[in-house]
Structure 1
Amino acid sequence: MNIDFSGKVAIITGAAHGFGRMIALGFAQRGATVHICDVNDTGLAETAELCGPAATAHHLDVSDRAAVQTTVAKIIADHGTVDILVNNAGGVRGQVGRPIEEITEAEWQTIFDVNLSGAFFMTQAVAPAMKTAKYGRVINISSGAGLGISLTGIQAYAAAKAGQIGLTRQLAHELGAWNITVNNVAPGFVRSNPTTERQWEAMGADGQAKLIQNIALKRLGTPEDIAHMVLFFASDYAGWISGQIISVDGGK
């Protein structure tokens, strides 16, 4: 299967490390012009260097609707359209699992802002250009937590990722008439960034062994495993696939 994105314009959010970096690199290596977005400028610069001249970096907080509109408008002005959007920005914002009665309003809201509102704002910004072009690929990166539970017990994360899955299905029906597909990748636990490294260490040897034992393939995945599914969803091979949620988790 030869997947090529020559002439395509892609936006990848949360591209400073982990999944986002590997996804951006995958598109750049296959000919796409990539616009990478994050609030981590140091990591973003590293990703841009890896991707080479095909990449343009943008400091962007996806929870800021006005900033999203401005950034996307500039990209569209430069290229005429956006062909592919990968909503990868997210995470737990430094939080750990605690009892529900201890969670503040701000702690609840900040996770929703980046994981759910950010995906909505970004898709809202690219939709008009995709409709005009009668072509588009939107891929949301949720989590196994959105299909089940958060391994670390973070209520807002599980809820926001479940909401993102619902948004994926809804937008697939709303945008499908313009040949825009909307799909979702739900990764299992992957050691891909400083947060997941801390979570892995916190599990201890027994918890780590239990996690791996519950995976059918008896091993953890890699950021490349997640990127490969995204590249497929964005390709012509997935042209009649929309509203789908694929778990990339080694088998449960």
Structure 2
Amino acid sequence: MNIGFDGKTVVVTGAAHGFGRSIAMAFASRGAHVHVLDINAAGLDETVKLCGHDKATGYHLDIANREAVHQTIARIEKGAPEGAVDILINNAGGVRGQVGRPIEEVSEDDWRAIFDVNLTGAFYMAQAVAPGMKRRRSGRIVNISSGAGLGVSLTGIQAYASAKAGQIGLTRQLAHELGAWNITVNNVAPGFVRSNPTTERQWEAMGPEGQQRLLDNIALKRLGAPSDIAAMVMFFASDHAGWISGQVISVDGGK
């Protein structure tokens, strides 16, 4: 199965490291021009370098800022060959430096911070690209959730599990709303992958026994890599997935 994206305009959020960087590099290597977004300017510059300056453009952006999101998408569309974004990957997310705490200790600001990046930002991004996709009657939106959105979070962070579950609900709702314009909306739910500083800290905090328990609960008895997540995204974004929408695929080594 050959998958290519020659001439496609792709937007990837949370692209400064981990899944986002791997996804951006995969699109760039297949002929797309990738617009990479993140609040981490240094990491974003490195992603652009790895993709190739002729293949990627970086934007320092907080996706929880609706006005900034719409302005950035307008800039991207202005320079796009077809005047619209072809593919949106909502990858930005995470726990914002938080750790699991009893529910009574979680502040309003901490709750909102996680929802802003994992759910609200994905909504703003989809809202911004949808009009252009509708005009062209074509588009792909792929959201990156988590196994936490289908079950419980290993971190114990209530807002993270809730926001990822909400993003899965948003995926299904938008698939039905946008399907009439030939726009597909799907979701990839990764298992635990050592992909960024946060997951490295989580892995170390488990200790040898906890790490082994995690591996024992995976059918393939090993952790995956960011490239495994990127591979599923490539399929959802390709023409091969033209009649697939509203779906959630777990990429977790088997549970």
TM superposition score category, shorter chain reference: over 0.9
2: CA distance between counterparts of 1:101 and 1:81?
45
Report the number of matched residues. Answer: 252
State the partner residue of 1:34.
34
Question: Helix, strand or coil for the counterpart of 1:115?
Answer: helix
State the partner residue of 2:44.
44
2: CA distance between counterparts of 1:61 and 1:213?
38
Deviating 4+ runs (over 3 angstroms):
none
Could you tell me which amino acid in structure 1 is paired with residue 221 of structure 2? K
Task: Quote the offset at 1:247 in angstroms.
Answer: 0.1
2: CA distance between counterparts of 1:3 and 1:105?
44
State the partner residue of 2:145.
142
Could you tell me which amino acid in structure 2 is paired with residue 14 of structure 1? G
Give me the TM-score of the superposition, normalised by structure 1. 1.00
State the partner residue of 2:223.
220
Question: Helix, strand or coil for the counterpart of 2:20?
Answer: helix
1: CA distance between counterparts of 2:111 and 2:25?
32
Residue 239, structure 1, aligned to residue 228, structure 2: no
Question: Helix, strand or coil for the counterpart of 2:88?
Answer: strand
State the partner residue of 2:127.
124
Q: What is the identity percentage for the equivalent residue pairs of Structure 1 and Structure 2? A: 73
Task: Quote the offset at 1:7 in angstroms.
Answer: 1.1
Question: Helix, strand or coil for the counterpart of 2:184?
Answer: strand
2: CA distance between counterparts of 1:77 and 1:49?
23
Which of 154, 161, 165 is the equivalent residue of 1:162?
Answer: 165
Could you tell me which amino acid in structure 2 is paired with residue 11 of structure 1? V
Could you tell me which amino acid in structure 1 is paired with residue 196 of structure 2? N
State the partner residue of 1:12.
12
Residue 189, structure 1, aligned to residue 189, structure 2: no
2: CA distance between counterparts of 1:163 and 1:180?
20
Aligned positions of 1:100-119 closer than 5 A: 100-119=103-122
State the partner residue of 2:69.
68
2: CA distance between counterparts of 1:59 and 1:133?
27
2: CA distance between counterparts of 1:29 and 1:195?
27
- 1:52-82 Cα deviation digits (max 9, x unpaired): 0110000010000000000000001111110
Residue 153, structure 1, aligned to residue 150, structure 2: no
2: CA distance between counterparts of 1:2 and 1:162?
32
Could you tell me which amino acid in structure 1 is paired with residue 49 of structure 2? E
Superposed CA RMSD: 0.3
Query: Which runs of 5 or more residues in structure 2 are unaligned?
Result: none
